[in-house]
Amino acid sequence: MPAEIRTTVRNNAGGHSNHSILWKTLSNPGKKPEDKLAKEIDEAFGSYEKWKEEMTKCAMGIFGSGWAWFGRGKDGKLFIEPFPNQDSPFMTGRTPIYGIDVWEHAYYLKHRNRRADYVKTCVENVASLT
């Protein structure tokens, strides 16, 4: 990719990809993951409650704009990790499953500067993790 458009493509393609996942995971509040993924979450993080704590910690720890991503690595292991701006786990060859958008545009209209309230709402209303 030509260097002069690399950042623009990275930001806009990342934004499209990230938000496409976000809309799918916010549509049916309160549903816990089931079956295989639920078991994997229990094994990797201790419990679904601990997973929510880790997602919250990740989202609250991001300085400025970015995403807290939960996903699966090439090795099959689950991860929770912060990504700046519109970067995506896809950029590192990993697969995103659920992300919390912590750009201010995601929460400022409803929550003002209270990111913690917004993040709590996100982790309490996860619709689908597949």
Q: How far is residue 58's CA from residue 56's CA, in Å, rounded to a whole number?
A: 5
| Residue from 96, 101, 107, 122 binding Fe ion (CB under 5 A) | 101
Instruction: Dig out the tokens for 74 from the structure.
Output: 């090439």
Q: Is 118 in the site for Fe ion (CB under 5 A)?
A: no
For Fe ion, which is the closer residue by CB, 41 or 97?
A: 97
Q: Which window, 6-14, 54-62, 94-102, 113-121, contacts Fe ion (CB under 5 A)?
A: 94-102
Count of residues binding Fe ion (CB under 5 A)? 3
Helix (H, G, I), strand (E, B) or coil at 63: coil
Helices (H) and strands (E) in the chain, counts: 5, 3
Q: Is 86 in the site for Fe ion (CB under 5 A)?
A: no
